[in-house]
Amino acid sequence: MRIDILTLFPEMFNSVFSESIIGRALKNNIFTVNCINIRDFSEDKHKRVDDYPYGGGPGMVLKPEPVFKAIQNVRKENSRIIFLTPKGKVYNQKIAKELSKEEHLVLLCGHYEGIDNRIIENYVTDEISIGDYVLTGGEISAMVLIDSVVRLLPGALGKKESYMEESHYNGLLEYPQYTRPREFNGHKVPDVLLSGNHKEIEKWRIYQSLKYTYLRRPDLLEKKELTKEEEEILSK
């Protein structure tokens, strides 16, 4: 996968690509990434990229020409051109999975009051929001998207199981995890996990996943079709 980021603040991405799992995936050529400064495409002698909004109102708007040129510079036939915006479709694991199958993502990060809407109407393929709150720009949202997509690429994570059983993989929240010691500040690990009975452990985990999801995210349960095993555990 290739990722191009169009931004006014490319330095913001430095640590994202040098650390941890994403840094390792980059080193291992699981994906390639390129940060492009939209300002480099301004033909204004002062390198201006914003202007006052037509119709008046507060704030500034990103001008269409430098953004268009930046897009043209990286765009291929099969590119997904994603604009990060609080007006977009709310991001989730299903979208992450879908995007992880693409060859080329172009992430367009907005700033100021917005971006000239002709760019969105004519050149953007997807508008994505990372949640119902407003950030100062699209960069942090782009980082969230990259992190969640790259970790799904083949070879990015050590063991397949680490994303097979996690929260949201199967539409439920993940069961709780414990490690040594058996007793910590007087708090014990649930007995079943020490029993060595793998069938009982599996049942307990499914039950915990269902319980957490029911208590914290009933909206997820409504959307989910329960497996036979999950139905059985619930009915007891």
**Annotated binding-site members for S-adenosyl-L-methionine:** 110, 130-135
Between 31 and 91, whose beta carbon lies closer to ligand ADE?
Answer: 91
Between 115 and 152, whose beta carbon lies closer to ligand ADE?
Answer: 115
Number of residues that bind ligand ADE (CB under 6 A): 11
By the rule CB under 6 A, 86 interacts with ligand ADE? yes
Stretch of 7-15, 133-141, 196-204, 219-227 lying at the interface with ligand ADE (CB under 6 A): 133-141
Q: CB neighbours of 79 closer than 8 A, spacing ≥ 6?
A: 104, 105, 106, 125
By the rule CB under 6 A, 84 interacts with ligand ADE? yes
Matching residue, tokens 């765009």? 75
Please identify which residue in 134, 160, 223, 235 interacts with ligand ADE, judged by CB under 6 A. Answer: 134
Please identify which residue in 45, 46, 121, 133 interacts with ligand ADE, judged by CB under 6 A. Answer: 133
Please report, as residue ranges, which positions from 165 to 224 form the binding site for ligand ADE (by CB under 6 A).
Answer: none
Cβ 33 to ligand ADE shortest distance, Å: 18
Cβ 46 to ligand ADE shortest distance, Å: 26
Stretch of 35-43, 79-87, 158-166, 191-199 lying at the interface with ligand ADE (CB under 6 A): 79-87
Phi-psi region of 222 (alpha: psi -120 to 50; beta: other; left: phi over 0): alpha
Residue 50 bridge partners (DSSP) = 62
Please identify which residue in 19, 20, 28, 131 interacts with ligand ADE, judged by CB under 6 A. Answer: 131
Between 108 and 156, whose beta carbon lies closer to ligand ADE?
Answer: 108
By the rule CB under 6 A, 135 interacts with ligand ADE? yes
